[in-house]
Copies of this chain bind each other. A is one copy, B any other.
Amino acid sequence: MTTRTERLATWAAVLQYDDIPQDVIERTKDLFLDWLGCAIAGRDHPAVKAIATFVQQMGPTTGRSELVDGELGFSTSPAFAAMVNAASSHVVEQDDLHNRSIMHPATVIFPAALAVAQDLGANGKDLITACVVGYEVGCRVGEYLGKSHYARFHSTATGGVIGVAAATARLLRLDSAAMLSSMGTAGTQAAGLWQFLLDATHSKQVHTGKACFDGIFAAYTAKSGLLGPHDVLEGPKGMGVALVPGTPIASAIDMHLGSDWAVLGSSFKWHASCRHTHPSVDALLNILATYPVQFEDIDSVVARTYQAAFDVLGLSGRGETIHQSKFNMGFVLAVTAQKGQALITDFTEEALQDASLREFQERVKMELDEDIDAAFPQKWQGKVIVTCKSGERYEEFVEYLKGDPQSPLTRAEIETKFKALAQYGQVKAMDRIQQIITRAWALEDQGSLTGLWL
């Protein structure tokens, strides 16, 4: 009998570029450029620097795989390059989000696939095919693991590592059996706890960096004959039993393969805060745009949301660091109300010290909304109720967010976001920025994938 995991592995091993619909290819390119910007923007983070130092100590300092941070002055092997670049792209909270799986696929799939593709001398079509495979496998695993898993584990890492293994295996042209071994060896390494959120420590970058390293490890060793467990998802001692307190969603593993594409189910992040704040940010922005309300007028805000938002947002305290502040609903809505937006340039040390923001923050309350919770993570809905000092009361409900699959960013918006992120990452040369954009929009025509960093 064929297991669901075997069917997924076989699909992943045989998918060809020509099998992929054009809209999936185009969206993959959108997500790729979006990811490049995130990686560049995060490269000065201390966790990224520490991981790069580790690579310098442990790895080769020559190789075909390039590091996002050119100032480091070396290239390395694909497992190590991917580790650094993945860490870097999960810093500024601007990387994509696959709704149903509650994971961020770009930050693990693209760094791994790009570094391996550079190592193998693969072309743009190879890269796109591998990334489509990686998104599909990773997000399906994340959806299988589900909400109860996400309450404890950073699904981007635990599902991501299997997606990385699949993308890498596809680039290595492994057959179905070796693809299955890759996924199995990846799954038995799946890890990543939320504990770091409580004290603003650096595991978030460790999780994405190591998901890349571990998934690449899984695929390369599978190529050399290392056997992975056949049913690491649904087996009696597999991830579904060990890592899922609730009931995993088995059908997610292989339902509608080849017709329901994970790439098309991924959302862009427009705001620079945790995605769990976005439904409330969008609802608040609607209120600000629709009614005569300004920052100073607001007495209190109620953000009605789903349980997973409480699970994650509740861990970052008052938001003492820039990163933590992006996980504090009160602070994020305060920024939104004050600035009329919540972009990367709005979360600063100055903002952290702004007494009016801090005071506003205290007047924001989160409430669990059962209807919204029931719809999550199929839909990331939000409802915001603003009560003004005047006594006026405004309420907004949002069903879909800016950047959601139902309203993705336009190419112009993606370019704008990329330029902002590149500048945030200290890139000065606008011609280089434009050159990268041009290459990304023609990714399928790239014979070589080197030189994509700034």
Contact = CB atoms under 8 A, between A and B. Distances in A.
B188 A184 contact: no
A223 to B, nearest CB: 8
Nearest to A78: B58
Contact of A152 (B59, B217, B241): B241
A206 interface: yes
Contact of A242 (B54, B152, B197): B152
Nearest to A238: B195
B225 A201 contact: no
Contacts of A54: 217, 220-221, 224
A220 B152 contact: no
B188 A190 contact: no
Contact of A193 (B50, B57, B199, B242): B242
Contacts of A193: 187-188, 229, 232, 237-239, 242
Contacts of A80: 58
Given A50-B225, A201-B229, A189 B188 contact: no
Interface in A24-55: 46-47, 49-51, 53-54
Contacts of A197: 237
Contact of A191 (B46, B190, B200, B201): B190
Contacts of A200: 227
Given A49-B224, A50-B226, A192-B188, A198 B235 contact: yes
Contacts of A47: 221, 226-227
Interface in A418-433: none
A231 interface: yes
A143 to B, nearest CB: 19
